[in-house]
């Protein structure tokens, strides 16, 4: 079981359906992750987990409408990986 923090840059593309106008919102998110590595053989693993993303207020205007993204997101994640070092026994 792993508990970790992270800092990530995200870009959200927002489309206003009535006008087909698209705009981007940039966000630097901090967060907390919880996951577990299941090994497939000696080196490969699959790592399911959950990420909690936290960000400041972010919004963008489309003429008469303002769109805001949430301050907190909870997202499932799956990572595939390779252990590059040998594990001492």
Return the exposure string of 42-57: e unless at least 16 CB atoms fall within 10 Å of the residue's CB, then b.
eeebebebebebebee
* Residue 68 CA: distances (Å) to CA of 11, 17, 49, 82: 13, 15, 26, 38
pLDDT (0 to 100) of residue 89: 58
- pLDDT under 50 in the chain at which residues? none
Would you call 83 helix, strand, or coil by DSSP? coil
Is residue 53 within a helix (H) or strand (E), and if so which, with residue range?
Answer: strand 44-54
**Percent of the chain with pLDDT strictly greater than 70:** 97
Dihedral, CA of residue 54, residue 7, residue 31 and residue 29, to nearest 10: 10
Each domain of the chain, given as residue ranges in start order, spans: 2-82
């Amino acid at each position: 079981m792993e508990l970790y923090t992270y800092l990530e840059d995200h870009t959200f593309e927002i489309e206003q359906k009535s006008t087909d106008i698209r705009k981007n919102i940039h966000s630097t998110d901090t967060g907390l992750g919880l996951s577990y590595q299941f090994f497939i053989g000696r080196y490969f693993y699959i790592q399911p987990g959950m990420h909690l993303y936290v960000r400041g207020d972010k919004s963008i205007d489309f003429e008469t409408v303002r769109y805001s993204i949430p301050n907190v997101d909870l997202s499932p994640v799956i990572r595939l990986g390779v252990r590059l070092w040998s594990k001492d026994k």
